[in-house]
Amino acid sequence: MAVLIDGAKIAAGVRQRVADEAARLATQGIVPGLAVVLVGEDPASQIYVRSKIRQTKAAGLASFEHRLPATAAQEELLDLVRVLNADDRVDGILVQLPLPRHIDSDRVLDAIDPAKDVDGFHPVNVGRLSSGTGGLIPCTPLGCMMLLDTVIDDYRGLKAVVIGKSNIVGKPVAMLLLERECTVTVTHIATRNLPDIVRTADILVVAAGAPGLVRGDWIRPGAIVIDVGINRIPDGDGSRIVGDVAFDEMDLAGAITPVPGGVGPMTIACLLENTVRAAERRRAVAGDFQPVPA
Ligand SMILES: Nc1nc(=O)c2c([nH]1)NC[C@@H]1CN(c3ccc(C(=O)N[C@@H](CCC(=O)O)C(=O)O)cc3)C=[N+]21
């Protein structure tokens, strides 16, 4: 049987570390603040934003919440981002994606101050990640690496396969694995012989958005499997959440993350950690998450 990597428990540990650090900063009069911006009424986004806000407050961080109607003009959202950029109480800005179709997401992400870009989606932070030089790292990839760190000591030379080439998961997680000197293969919708490539993986990160895509006979015995997929599928009268990996077939894997309770909770915990990191950097205070800037 594969070892279960308990994301819920590991995320609770990260949140505790964040809370401890926030308490220490509070003695210096610093309360790291996270602004979350939600445009429109997408039900899934509402749920995610609600739990982000709850966990932000629970960790002792300041939470600023901004809701705009689905009809909001792009210029209105850009104005809000500029206000948050200028607000000294705000260390992190998260604009919940996806945005309504009439809004150009890239324009909005480009407008966020890179020092407050706790999602790590701004081109400056994307560039820093690919050159390996200390920007803010996207939350889901950061969470994936923390989960891998619980079962892997030495990444050097391991074969890593990533399924999915998105800007929010596939590409950044590939960069992080490469930084650790894995041999990384990024696969996607047009990849041929996907099962054969996956069979070479010591580490497999799946962010495809396709329920049950990865089958048991694709897995090299002992492989570590990180399932980033969050798919809501019909189940009886209701629905349930499943990942991109056929979890019940993963007996031969060395370790695997469940869905729910794997990567998802880590994403939010890393958002809080990034907020404290951004606060320490921007306010030039030393802390567990940030060395004193030169
Ligand atoms: N700017 C931006 N940044 C994001 O980080 C971002 C975003 N937009 N848009 C939407 C996605 C999705 N996302 C999740 C966060 C936590 C869980 C999570 O905690 N899931 C739980 C529960 C799942 C459930 O039951 O609904 C779990 O997997 O155990 C899931 C998904 C962050 N996102």
With vertex at residue 277, the alpha carbon angle to CA 48 and CA 128, rounded to the nearest 5 degrees, is 95
CA-nearest residue, atom 14 of ligand 1? 264
Q: Looking at the CA of residue 140, tell me the nearest atom of ligand 1.
A: 5
> Which pLDDT value is given to residue 288?
67
Is it the case that residue 177 has pLDDT exceeding 60?
A: yes
Instruction: Judge contact between 261 and 7, C-beta under 8 A.
Output: yes
Tell me how far the alpha carbon of residue 27 lies from the centroid of ligand 1, in angstroms. 32
Q: Which of 39, 139, 36, 173 is nearest to 93 (CA)?
A: 36
What average pLDDT does the structure give for the chain?
A: 96
- Please identify which residue in the block is written with the tokens 């580490």: 203
User: Quick check: do 29-114 and 139-265 share a fold?
Assistant: yes
Q: What is the Å distance from ligand 1's center to 239 Cα? A: 17
The answer to whether domain 139-265 has CATH 3.90.110.10 is no
In this prediction, residues 11-27 reach a mean pLDDT of 98
* ipTM for the assembly: 0.94
pLDDT at 57 over 60: yes
Q: Record the pTM.
A: 0.96
* Mean pLDDT within 191-211: 98
Q: Which atom of ligand 1 is nearest to the CA of 7?
A: 29
Catalytic residue among 55, 91, 117, 119: 119
Give pairs for 128-136: CB < 8 Å, separation 24+: 129/172, 129/175, 129/176, 130/175, 132/175, 132/179, 136/274, 136/277, 136/278
pLDDT at 32 (0 to 100): 98
Query: For residue 44, which atom of ligand 1 is closest to its CA?
Result: 26
Q: What is the pLDDT of residue 290?
A: 62
* Mean pLDDT, range 92-102, rounded to an integer: 97
Whether 46 has a pLDDT exceeding 80, the answer reads yes
Closest listed residue to residue 263, CA positions, set 45, 5, 15, 59: 5
Q: Is the pLDDT of residue 293 over 70?
A: no
Q: Where are the domains of the chain?
A: 29-114, 139-265
87 token code pair: 């607000």
pLDDT at 48 over 50: yes
Looking at the predicted structure, is the pLDDT value of residue 294 above 50?
no
Confirm whether 52 is a catalytic residue: yes
Contact (Cβ atoms closer than 8 angstroms) between residue 91 and residue 113? no
164 in a labelled binding site: yes
User: Which of 55, 91, 96, 202 is flagged as catalytic?
Assistant: 96
Which one of 48, 147, 173, 270 would you pick to mutate in the ligand 1 pocket, going by the greatest count of ligand atoms within 8 A of its CB? 48
CATH 3.40.50.10860 fits 29-114, yes or no: yes
**What is the pLDDT averaged over residues 6-35?**
98
69 close to 40: Cβ distance less than 8 angstroms? yes
> Residue 162's closest CA among 132, 131, 191?
191
Q: What is the pLDDT of residues 107-149, one digit of tens each?
A: 999 999 999 999 999 999 999 999 988 899 999 999 999 999 9
pLDDT of residue 285: 84
Q: Is 230 annotated as a binding residue?
A: yes
As a whole number of Å, the CA-based R_g of the chain is: 19
Query: What is the predicted pLDDT for the residue at 132?
Result: 85
Query: Can you tell me the mean pLDDT for 152-174?
Result: 98
Active site residue 55: no
Q: Whose CA is nearest to atom 9 of ligand 1?
A: 97
DSSP labels for 81-104? HHHHHH-TT--EEEE-SSPPTTS-
- The per-residue pLDDT for 18 is 98
pLDDT at 291: 55
Taking only the tens place, the pLDDT of each residue in 267-284 is: 999 999 999 999 999 998
DSSP-assigned states of every residue in 69-80: -TT--HHHHHHH
